[in-house]
Amino acid sequence: MATDILRDLGPIFLGSRLKRLAERMQAGAASTIEDAGLRVQPAHMPLLTALDRGPMTVGRLVEVVGSSQPGVTRAAGQLIDMGLIHSVSGTDQRQRTLSLTAAGDAVMARTKLLIWPRIETAVNEICDGLSGPLLDQITAIEEALAAKPLNERVAGIARDTLIIRDYGDDLAADFYEINAEWITSMFRLEQTDREVLENPKERIIEPGGTILFVEAPHLGVIGTCALQKTGASSFELTKMGVRASARGLKAGEFLLSAAIDRAKAMGAKTFYLLTSRRCESAIHLYEKLGFQHDAEIMEKYGARYERCDVAMRYRG
């Protein structure tokens, strides 16, 4: 067995040994991040995670991350060049305020869904059952990583799946916020929008419809849609949206598939939606999952919204 100087001399080289252990852990994390299609490095993640909680000055980042100012400034510069954070200068270098861009929000969303849960599981697996003196625990971790590196452990862990939740009063605010976000980014809130968003239980649930939500680990509720009953066996797919910060995670497709299944279970013979040509990506998704453009639906229901110039019926 090869000699391990750092291990043999125990407490004398504790700092070097911890640094080596950190490098092994970060190498595994880097491989996992790359496999998820992200360009960032493990060293960037503390800054992105801190800014995910809100804008901060460089000085504040130094405090919450626990790194040196030169290190934070260097990493911040790299993230600015990558288009993931935005900087607004103050009176001096430490007073620059940093915040995530839309691209940075997207990176954090993918990180929380695809990376954090699996790395957490892998690290818990490595550390499970550790006890005794610190140096013995470090040895056990080193041996576990030598036997199977972190990235190999992560690769064997299934990705956490998105889950569907049904409406509850505690989700009323999410229903409003998610829909208000996408509607106001492209159009304006019409009176019919407000009536539904401000009174989802009265307008959707009580008349026999339902509201679904999609939730992701570490992200919470990221999308929603409603099935509004408009006849004895007819339902409109309406108020479907995904938070801008969570787009790109296929949450919309997951949610739409669940809505179709729910409509079938509710006995829908006519299942339709109304939208606008401006919602190109959404229309492509609808077409992909079985909705077809329908003149009869447009004539019968299209006048409900000023922005409506597309009507589709589910054909399966």
Question: What is the pLDDT at residue 218?
Answer: 86
Residue 75 has pLDDT above 90, yes or no: yes
CA quadruple 112, 58, 42, 74: dihedral positive or negative? Answer: positive
Question: What is the pLDDT at residue 91?
Answer: 64
C-beta separation of 197 from 187 below 8 A: no
pLDDT tens profile 117-170: 899 999 999 999 999 999 999 999 999 999 999 999 999 887 767 999 999 999
Domain residue spans in the chain? 5-155, 163-314
CA 207 to chain centre: 32
Residue 93 has pLDDT above 80, yes or no: no
Q: Is 299 exposed, middle or buried (0-12, 13-18, 19+ CB in 10 A)?
A: exposed
Question: What is the pLDDT at residue 94?
Answer: 55
Question: What is the pLDDT at residue 90?
Answer: 67
Three-state SS letters, the chain: CCCCHHHHCHHHHHHHHHHHHHHHHHHHHHHHHHHCCCCCCHHHHHHHHHHCCCCEEHHHHHHHHCCCHHHHHHHHHHHHHCCCEEEECCCCHHHCEEEECHHHHHHHHHHHHHHHHHHHHHHHHHHCCCCCCHHHHHHHHHHHHHHCCHHHHHHCCCCCCCEEEECCHHHHHHHHHHHHHHHHHHCCCCHHHHHHHHCHHHHHHCCCCEEEEEEECCCEEEEEEEEEECCCCEEEEEEEEECHHHCCCCHHHHHHHHHHHHHHHCCCCEEEEEECCCCHHHHHHHHHCCEEECHHHHHHHHHHCCCCCEEEEECC
Question: What is the pLDDT at residue 217?
Answer: 84
Question: What is the pLDDT at residue 92?
Answer: 61
CATH node for 163-314: 3.40.630.30
CA 123 to chain centre: 21
Name the residue type at position 249.
L
Residue 202 has pLDDT above 70, yes or no: yes
Confidence of residue 268 (pLDDT cuts 50, 70, 90): very high
Question: What is the pLDDT at residue 160?
Answer: 67
Three-state SS letters, 183-215: HHHHCCCCHHHHHHHHCHHHHHHCCCCEEEEEE
Is pTM, for the whole model, over 0.75?
Answer: no
The mean-pLDDT minimum among 94-98, 108-112, 171-175 falls in 94-98
pLDDT tens profile 209-260: 999 999 998 889 999 999 999 999 999 999 999 998 888 888 999 999 999 9
Instruction: Indicate if 163-314 has the same CATH topology as 5-155.
Output: no
Greater pLDDT, 261 or 306: 261
Question: What is the pLDDT at residue 2?
Answer: 72
* Strand 270-275 relative to strand 163-166, pairing: unpaired
Question: What is the pLDDT at residue 36?
Answer: 85
Q: Measured between alpha carbons, how far is 264 from 297 in angstroms, rounded to an integer?
A: 19
Residue 57 has pLDDT above 90, yes or no: yes
Residue 197 has pLDDT above 90, yes or no: yes
pLDDT tens profile 76-88: 999 999 999 999 8
Farthest CA pair distance, the chain? 82
For 303, other C-beta atoms within 10 Å of its C-beta total: 10
Q: Measured between alpha carbons, how far is 302 from 307 in angstroms, rounded to an integer?
A: 9
* Residues 5-155, CATH architecture: Orthogonal Bundle (1.10)
Question: What is the pLDDT at residue 95?
Answer: 75
Q: Which residue has the tokens 């929008």?
A: 193
pLDDT tens profile 1-52: 578 998 888 899 999 999 999 999 999 999 999 988 898 999 999 999 999 9
- Cβ neighbours of residue 97 closer than 8 Å, sequence gap 6 or more: 55, 56, 57, 87, 88, 90
Strand order in the sheet with 97-100: 56-57, 97-100, 85-88
